Structure 1
Amino acid sequence: MKAFGKILGIFVLGLLLILVALGFALTHLFDPNDYKDEIRKLARDRAHVELTLNGDIGWSLFPWLGLELHDASVATLQNPSTPFADLQLLGLSVRVLPLLRKEVQMSDVRVDGLNLKLARDASGHGNWQDIGTPLADGQQPTTPPTAGNDGPQTPPARSERPMKLDIDSLTVNNATVTYSDAQSGRNFTAESIQLSTGAVRESSDIPVKLTAFLGTNQPQMRARTELAGQLRFDRVLKRYQFEDMRLSGEVSGEPLQGKTMTFSTQGQLLADLAANVADWSNLKLSANQLRALGELHLRNLDSDPQLAGALSIAQFDLRAFLDGIAQPLPATADPTALAQVELVARLQGSKNALALEDLTAKVDGSTFNGRLAVDDIARQAVRLQLKADRFNADRYLPPQSKDAEGQAAARKAEVQGTEQAAVASAGTTPLPNAPSKEAWSDDRLFPVERLRALDLNADLAFGQLTLKNVAIDNAALRVQSQAGLASLQTLSGEIANGRFETHGSLDVRGDTPQLALQAQVQRVPVELILKAQNPEPPLRGGLNLTGEVTASGNSQKALVETLNGNARFNLDNGVLVNANLEQQLCQGIAALNQKSLTSEPRGKDTAFRQLGGTLTLRDGVANNPDLKASIRGLLVNGKGAIDLRVLGLDYTLGVVVEGDKGDMPDPACQVNDRFANVEVPIRCRGPLELGAKACRLDRDGLASVGAQLLRNRVEDKIDDKLGDKVSPQIKDALKGLLKR
């Protein structure tokens, strides 16, 4: 047995020596460079590609089947003169014996200077579609492929166990991948690609590090990227994992206008192709100062992919973030608006839709809850269902332009000058002039182009909404907009103890925006509304109003100048602030008494129980033919107009002393029976902001009243003197003579 074992050992040793000697002879006596033509022919016949070997081929046989290719390129048979890939060096070694067990055991694999060129021609055909495709019968090189032969032929499925991979490492140096599309003119590049891995073995963690410079020409952008993590795959289970993935870099280019955005993201990636699912858990994302956490889950990868997940964005300065990527927000009245923004939401989506469900967003101290969705990304169909605790909309409105500021300052100066003269004179000076300065801005109001493309369905609610310095409680806004037609289904809310509700539409489909509104107001404090134009409103009281108006234009000025419609209003328990109505009445009665006032005018307010009438609006002018006001002991009738274009009023009032004949503030204006039911004329003209301070006694009208009172007094004397001594017909004749 010992002799047999010794003989067997000598035989095996001899066999190994023969194999080594054969390998040495093959590798040293056999030069593969002498067979380049045969290798190229083999590539054409079997792989159906055009292989060009410009450099030397180096190789080893045993125990490693080693190969080194220098300066090689590959092209399709259809276009052999234009390689889609070339490289400077490919080096690899494979153990020979494991190949017999269908196991690939490699040492380090190295690729230097790979240049992969992918291109789609003007007809939409990609050069990669011809890889591995043989020429059709009679087809000549450079001839476009025939129909039905656009892509590589897939080999028939095999039931054998897949080949097992075992590679010590993979290194790619200075690789480049380019893609060009002749149809769109777009180009994409990945340059200076550096890839290094650890041992590549199935079902084992594979350390991976990849760096590259990415670029595109439409728009021109460039990005530096670095990717690292642990790759794990199982081809039988079709399961791929990328654990501890970290992707970072920076982006610059035309959209950023010279600025740079740094970014990083990390997490755990999983793709299970057998179950058609993919997950990204422990997601962390940063872009400049933005920081986000979340997770993403994809289902139905093979049919209709569905997205689910969660997203949390920490508080950040949205204005500064967008400015840092050269996408600044429009200017706002408050330059610090949107400096504090944070968000938490669930994600749901599909191929053409994305929704933020159970959304909680905090914006500058306001909290919003609800849903934000794009139901159709292609159509930009936006859907909003949000409820906020409080929100100050004034902070986010566009600021006034320089022209509008100058216009407002000029009007303010005009009004202040008129007001000072009216107060100083206590209403004894001539009537103020009608205002001439424009009261409304000519700044562009509606973003017409955006509205025409907008597909919006919004349902918003606010615990408290501040708009034009007016606090609106329980505000609600529902609006739909599509193809340039916006329908205001409701805009409602509560102001103090009152309430309002508005419906309407905005049509921007034509050249000029068309606005239509219907409003109903109940017991809303009118002074809060007037504060939008005057911080010290001249009128207080509960406003009740119903009306409908139309207007056209794209500025405040244009809308007011085209304002048309009808309205009915009523003001309950109102007050004319710093009103001189009582003083005007006293002056009129003193004149009729032929006396002079001896007391100083009193500057207290004038209260009234009710004020109302109807308005007819034509081209920005509101005509009011039936004004009526009820003051204790007095009745005021009036008619006139309010020119909304310049916020000016022009009214004729008649003040009638009814039943209250109590003491007046001055002896010269004591009221007796003969003044009962006499209408004292008052004229009001000037800026609307002046209120009753724009009113003066109508001297011309007062002369007619005096004549009437004189006639009444003579008639009373006739009745007293003649009594029953003469017939009624004679007394009537005498009174008739007084009227001539």
Structure 2
Amino acid sequence: MKLALKILGALIALLILAVVLLVTLVSPNQFKPHIEAAAKEQGIALHMGDLGWAFWPSIGVSLADITVAAVETPEKPIAELKNASLMLALMPLFRGEFQVDHVAVDGAQIHLAVDKQGKGNWEALSQSSTPESSEKAQVQSQTQSQASEAKPLNLEVEKISLTNSALDYHDEKTGQIINLRDLNIVLTGVNTQGNPFDAQLSWLLELVQANTDKLQVKGELNNRVTLDKEFNNLQLDDGQLRLTLTQKSSADIALDYQLAVKDLQKDMSYQGKLQLLSLNARQVLAALGTRLDTANSDALKHVALGTAIKGDTKQVALDDLQLTLDKTRFTGNLAVTDLATSALKLKLTGDSINVDDYLPPPSETPAAAQQAAATEDTPLPLEALRGLNLDAEFALASMRFNKMALSNIDLSVNAKNGVIRQKLSANAYQGDIQFNSNTDARTDKAIMNFDGGVQGFELAPLIKDLEIDENLGLSGAIQAKAQGNTQGASVNQLMAAMNSTANFSGAQVRLSPLNIEQKFCELVNLVTQNTTEVNWDAFTEMRQLNGNIVWRDQVINLESFNAGVSQLLLTSNGKINLATDKYEFKLPIKLAEASEAASLKGCSLTTTNYWVDRGLSLLRCKGSFGAINPLKDCGFDKSALGDLTKDFAEYKLREKHGDKIDAAEQKLKDKKQELLDKANEKLGGEGTVNKPADLLNNLLKKKLGTQSSSAESSVAAE
């Protein structure tokens, strides 16, 4: 036993002696010229500082002050390394095992630059290598690749670290600057035996673009990594990504994940879960230099996403998608079915959303805002539309958009090869909405065709939601159908080229506060100079109505409108000029039948049939379409009213003294003929001298005309 112990002690002593002799007698610096020469053959100017041995508690080699540059410019290093070391665990060596204890790299820096001609400084490294060295490196790479495929790597390292490292990139051509600093990577318990090990990564990234503020992205990444010896399967568990964005302000982003990757070497596929923790999107956008101004200042303060992910080299899918947008919850799935063509398939179902919250806030000066909107224009993203490959379905239980309340919304969008088709159906105000459109973006202008309609659309709640019920009241249900087309490369061009027609109808529709029957009777009483005391309703009720509208050249023309109002027939025509925000309508009114005249309250119609079946275009409404107000905008046409008053006076005169007026006119007519006959005789016979007869005829007209007026005046006086 003692002999065995002595032999073991001697072996240990010999091993220690061998290590001491290796460290003291063999200097690693003697290998430097060979290493630097080999690098030079590859076109790399490599400079190495001192190489040294480490002995306790691990044995290994350390390197310091290493620089890498192109052979032509050795004074401009592309990469630098402050310190690096490879340490072997000492105790396993006594058991004959080769176990890496620690691989450490500290102070690594990489300097990349692009000159004004767009040439990168790293290109000199590959250009400097000789054909022989390139061929040798390629053969060596192929040999190493074959060796790695032939034999699995049984790797086990206690710790791998990269600390205090940095990368900087400067593009003189674009002015872009990227600085990656404070880069630290620590891998603990690294192995390829399928045992989980920890991986930690942290960094600070700085991005500078021309004419923009510097953006900082501070990040931390933590994982539990599982890797097999064939490097074929990878498992990432307990993944945490934390980012802090800082520009003019700061914002945080947190993402948790897990991911399993299979067949890394051949047909890679993966699946896992992603969880974007709730973030304030307003703060994120502000940190990226974009100030968000919305009608609701709390919009986009709460955004979260959770999903299962799976895919391969050709496609990726997000299943069981759970999206939170403030108070709205969406579920569904998203898939890129073909990565090569960016074919996107989307299906989302949501509960309730108020889109108005996410729109720009309303302007306090509508006229100024409208004028600004008219001068500003938004170009259409035609290039993006041409490349869109989309099959999407959206469903919402309820939505508020432009103050209008919609429910049971179903929207489908199909886009491919520059053609986009949309189909929308929804319920609104106890009615149904259908809308279809087809947009062709394959040319320099988008060409759009559309059609749609509404059924049983209640007007009163719509007017209330639009917040115009203080000046204009409408109630009752209508039906309408529309179709049209337009084209353009911008929003304003689409509006300017709009060409559309629509027809509508309704029943028991009330308009307030204007009472058409009251206006008609006020008109009658004004002309007849009578007065009546009536308590009028503050509305007009139309039994039936129908009409037709044409929208062309930014003008909406009401080409026809017919409605029954009490015993009146109401028609209308006019236009709305969208470019000037002005509108004008005439409201011709007709009393339907003589039998109805007596029952029309508030009108003095019983003594005459003058008003029956007579079209009267005396009411006119005009003003600002954006601030429509029937009471203020509607009134009598003074010029037409004057003509009507004169015509009614003549009618009454003939109604009372018709026989006498007719007799006087006949007498004057006979007298005129008698004078003409005498004049013709004196001038040489009828038809012989036309010019004197014409002169005399004109004189007679003047004379007889005066007598006719005198005769009518005398009859009227009677």
**TM-score, with structure 1 as normaliser:** 0.68
Per the alignment, residue 350 of structure 1 pairs with 312
Per the alignment, residue 143 of structure 2 pairs with 153
Q: Is the 8 A contact 2:176 2:207 kept in 1?
A: no
Tell me if 1:390 matches 2:352: yes
Tell me if 1:690 matches 2:619: no
Specify whether residues 126 and 590 from structure 1 end up closer, same or farther in structure 2 by C-alpha distance, changes over 3 A only: same
Equivalent residue for 2:283, pick from 320, 325, 343: 320
Tell me if 1:494 matches 2:427: yes
Q: When the two structures are aligned, how many residues end up with a matched partner?
A: 636
Tell me if 1:104 matches 2:98: yes
**How big is the shift at 1:233?**
1.1
Equivalent residue for 1:333, pick from 286, 289, 295: 295
Per the alignment, residue 617 of structure 1 pairs with 551
Q: Where in structure 2 are the equivalents of 1:145-294 lying within 5 Å?
A: 145=135, 149=139, 151=141, 153-154=143-144, 157=147, 220-228=178-186, 230-234=188-192, 237=193, 239=194, 241-243=196-198, 245-254=199-208, 257-272=213-228, 274=230, 276-288=232-244, 289-294=252-257
Per the alignment, residue 666 of structure 1 pairs with 602
**How big is the shift at 1:518?**
1.1
Per the alignment, residue 34 of structure 2 pairs with 40
Matched residue of 2:294: which SS? coil
Specify whether residues 702 and 156 from structure 1 end up closer, same or farther in structure 2 by C-alpha distance, changes over 3 A only: same
Tell me if 1:631 matches 2:568: no
Per the alignment, residue 201 of structure 1 pairs with none
Per the alignment, residue 604 of structure 1 pairs with 538
The more displaced of 223-232 and 497-506 is: 223-232
Equivalent residue for 1:300, pick from 245, 263, 276: 263
Matched residue of 1:103: which SS? coil
Per the alignment, residue 272 of structure 2 pairs with 309
Corresponding letter in the other structure for 2:475: R
Per the alignment, residue 576 of structure 1 pairs with 511
Specify whether residues 34 and 643 from structure 1 end up closer, same or farther in structure 2 by C-alpha distance, changes over 3 A only: closer
Matched residue of 2:451: which SS? strand
Tell me if 1:650 matches 2:585: yes
Corresponding letter in the other structure for 1:571: G
- Structure 2: distance between partners of 1:291 and 1:485: 38
Q: Is the 8 A contact 1:40 1:50 kept in 2?
A: no
Tell me if 1:520 matches 2:453: yes
- Structure 2: distance between partners of 1:26 and 1:285: 45
Per the alignment, residue 438 of structure 2 pairs with 505
- Structure 2: distance between partners of 1:494 and 1:716: 66
**How big is the shift at 1:371?**
2.1
**How big is the shift at 1:574?**
0.8
Tell me if 1:367 matches 2:329: yes
- Structure 2: distance between partners of 1:19 and 1:296: 46
Specify whether residues 702 and 512 from structure 1 end up closer, same or farther in structure 2 by C-alpha distance, changes over 3 A only: farther
Q: Is the 8 A contact 2:163 2:183 kept in 1?
A: no
The more displaced of 628-637 and 73-82 is: 73-82
Specify whether residues 404 and 712 from structure 1 end up closer, same or farther in structure 2 by C-alpha distance, changes over 3 A only: same
Per the alignment, residue 667 of structure 2 pairs with none
- Structure 2: distance between partners of 1:304 and 1:638: 72
Specify whether residues 682 and 349 from structure 1 end up closer, same or farther in structure 2 by C-alpha distance, changes over 3 A only: farther
Specify whether residues 34 and 484 from structure 1 end up closer, same or farther in structure 2 by C-alpha distance, changes over 3 A only: closer
Q: Is the 8 A contact 1:387 1:461 kept in 2?
A: yes
- Structure 2: distance between partners of 1:517 and 1:48: 65
- Structure 2: distance between partners of 1:34 and 1:401: 76
More helix by share: 2
Q: Is the 8 A contact 2:66 2:80 kept in 1?
A: yes
- Deviation by residue 1:92-127 (Cα, 9 ceiling, x = unmatched): 787999879863267877777777899999899896
Q: Is the 8 A contact 1:486 1:507 kept in 2?
A: yes
**How big is the shift at 1:651?**
2.1
**How big is the shift at 1:160?**
11
The structure showing larger relative contact order (alpha-carbon pairs under 8 Å, at least 6 residues apart) is 1
Specify whether residues 291 and 50 from structure 1 end up closer, same or farther in structure 2 by C-alpha distance, changes over 3 A only: closer
- Structure 1: distance between partners of 2:6 and 2:95: 27
Specify whether residues 666 and 151 from structure 1 end up closer, same or farther in structure 2 by C-alpha distance, changes over 3 A only: same
- Structure 2: distance between partners of 1:584 and 1:621: 28
Corresponding letter in the other structure for 1:543: I
Q: Is the 8 A contact 2:202 2:221 kept in 1?
A: yes
- Structure 2: distance between partners of 1:641 and 1:159: 80
Q: Is the 8 A contact 2:517 2:565 kept in 1?
A: no
Per the alignment, residue 547 of structure 1 pairs with 482
Corresponding letter in the other structure for 1:686: K
Matched residue of 1:395: which SS? helix
Q: RMSD of aligned C-alpha atoms?
A: 5.4
**How big is the shift at 1:511?**
4.9
**How big is the shift at 1:579?**
1.1
- Structure 2: distance between partners of 1:561 and 1:20: 92
**How big is the shift at 1:606?**
1.0
Specify whether residues 474 and 163 from structure 1 end up closer, same or farther in structure 2 by C-alpha distance, changes over 3 A only: closer
Matched residue of 2:356: which SS? helix
Matched residue of 1:153: which SS? helix
Q: Is the 8 A contact 1:470 1:528 kept in 2?
A: no
- Deviation by residue 1:327-368 (Cα, 9 ceiling, x = unmatched): 555x43333321122222222333354432222222121222
The more displaced of 55-64 and 548-557 is: 55-64
Matched residue of 1:523: which SS? strand
The more displaced of 657-666 and 705-714 is: 705-714
- Structure 2: distance between partners of 1:159 and 1:265: 30
Q: Is the 8 A contact 2:171 2:177 kept in 1?
A: no
- Structure 2: distance between partners of 1:156 and 1:130: 27
Q: Is the 8 A contact 2:509 2:541 kept in 1?
A: yes
- Structure 2: distance between partners of 1:34 and 1:366: 67
Q: Where in structure 2 are the equivalents of 1:652-731 lying within 5 Å?
A: 652-658=587-593, 660-661=596-597, 663-666=599-602, 668=604, 675-687=611-623, 688=625, 689-691=628-630, 694-696=634-636, 698-699=640-641, 700-701=643-644, 703-704=646-647
Q: Which runs of 5+ in 1 are unaligned?
A: 188-215, 409-437, 719-737
- Structure 2: distance between partners of 1:54 and 1:314: 47
Specify whether residues 109 and 579 from structure 1 end up closer, same or farther in structure 2 by C-alpha distance, changes over 3 A only: closer
